[in-house]
Structure 1
C-alpha cells in the first residue's frame, strides 16, 4: 500500500516537468513532509489538465453517507479496479496524476519495522496514477473532491521493502495518456504496469515519520 508520502515541490522543476503555464493553487505550493490520509494533496485531473488542484486524500464515493469512508480508501488496487463498485466509474471517467517528491514504506524485519523514503532515481517529481471523485453532503454544503492512489506489485527496488507500491507514470506520454478522457479502458489499464527496475532509489529514515504530527526536513534525512 501507500500510506504516507511527501509533497516538497520546487516550482521551477514542476513547470519544467509539466508546463510553464500550469495553474497552481492560490497562495502557492504547500509543503508537507508527512502527507497522511484525509489531508489535502496535489493532483492534476483529466477535467483540468492545466491546473494543479488540492484534493482530499481518501476517495469518497458519491453515494457515501459521510466522509469517514475516505480514510479506508486511500489506495485502490489495480487488480480488478475496473469491476469494484467504488472504483469502476472513476477509472473510466475521473483519473488524476498525484504529485509528490517521494513516498514512504515500512520494511518488516523480525518484530520491528523500518521506514524507508523512496524517490525517482532521476530526481524528477513523483507522479502516481490516481482516481478522483466528488462528494456533496445532503445538507447542501460544499462539494468535497477526493482521490485514491492506485497500487500494484513492486519492482526490484521495492520487493525487499514491501509487496505493494504506487503505480507510477514516469513519462510525459504516459501521463498524457492517463488524462486522455477519450482513451478506452484497455489502454488505461495497460498503463498500470509495475515501474521498470532502476526507476527508484531508497534509504531508511527516522521512525518519526510514523507519527503524523511530525513534519519538516528532518523526515527526509537518512537515519543513522
Structure 2
C-alpha cells in the first residue's frame, strides 16, 4: 500500500514538468508528511489544467457519512473495475496525485525502518488515482484514492505493493482522457525497473505530527551481523 508521501514542489517545477498552462494557485501548501484524511494536490479529468486540493481517502458518492475516508486511501488495481467503491470512479473520475516522493517501511527483525522513494531523474511523481464527490447537508467533499499494484525490483525489497506511477507525459495525459475501460485497466501495471531510488530516513516520519525538511534527510543504514 501507499500510506504516506511527501509533496515538496514549486510552481516553477510543476509548470516546467506539466506545462506553463497548469494553474497552481498563489501559494502551494508544502507537506513533508502527507497522511490519510489530509488534503493534498491532484489533477482531475474534470480540470486537467489545474491543481485541486482535496481529501486523501475516497468517500464514495453513495456513502451515508464521511467515516469511510480513512479506510479507502488505496485502491488495488486488481479487480478495481468491479469493486463497489471504485467501479464508477475508474470509469468516470480519474486523477493524478502529485508527490516528490513516497515513504515505505521495511521490516527488519522486529522493527520497521522507513524509506523515502523517488524518481531517479528528480521529476515529481504522478501517481494514478481515482476521485469522487460526496455531499452532506451543506458541503460537497472531493476525495481521492491512490491506485496500487505489484512492486517493481526497485521497491520489492521493502514492500509487496507500490503506487501505479505514470512517469511518461503521454501516459499522464492519456490517464485523464476519456477512453474504453479496457484501455484504462491496461495502464494499471507495475512501473519498469530502474526508474526509482530510495534511502532510509528518520523514524520521525512515523508520526504525522512531524512535518519538516529533516524528514527527507538520509539516515545511514544500520550495520548487520551477517
SS in 1 for 2:79: coil
**1:16-31 alignment to 2 at 5 Å?**
16-25=16-25, 27-31=26-30
Q: Is the 8 A contact 2:201 2:217 kept in 1?
A: yes
Q: CA offsets, 1:16-43, max 9 Å, x none?
A: 1111011113x41110000000100100
SS in 1 for 2:81: coil
Report how far residue 10 of structure 1 moved: 2.0
Q: Distance in 2 between matches of 1:155 and 1:199?
A: 10
- Residue 2 of structure 1 corresponds to 2
- Residue 200 of structure 1 corresponds to 196
SS in 2 for 1:92: helix
- Give the TM-score, by structure 2 length: 0.96
Count of matched residue pairs:
220
SS in 1 for 2:24: coil
SS in 1 for 2:88: helix
**1:13-52 alignment to 2 at 5 Å?**
13-25=13-25, 27-52=26-51
- Give the TM-score, by structure 1 length: 0.97
Q: Is the 8 A contact 2:6 2:32 kept in 1?
A: yes
In structure 2, which of residues 192, 195, 215 is the aligned counterpart of residue 219 of structure 1? 215
SS in 2 for 1:50: coil
- Residue 111 of structure 1 corresponds to 110
Q: Distance in 1 between matches of 2:219 and 2:118?
A: 16
Q: Distance in 1 between matches of 2:22 and 2:156?
A: 35
- Residue 171 of structure 1 corresponds to 168
Superposition CA RMSD, Å: 0.7
Q: Is the 8 A contact 2:11 2:24 kept in 1?
A: no
SS in 2 for 1:158: coil
Structure 2: 5+ residue stretches without partners: 221-226
Q: Distance in 1 between matches of 2:120 and 2:192?
A: 12
Q: Distance in 2 between matches of 1:143 and 1:133?
A: 10
Q: Distance in 2 between matches of 1:21 and 1:167?
A: 25
Structure 1: 5+ residue stretches without partners: none
- Extract structure 1 runs of 4+ deviating beyond 4 A: none
Q: Distance in 2 between matches of 1:50 and 1:157?
A: 31
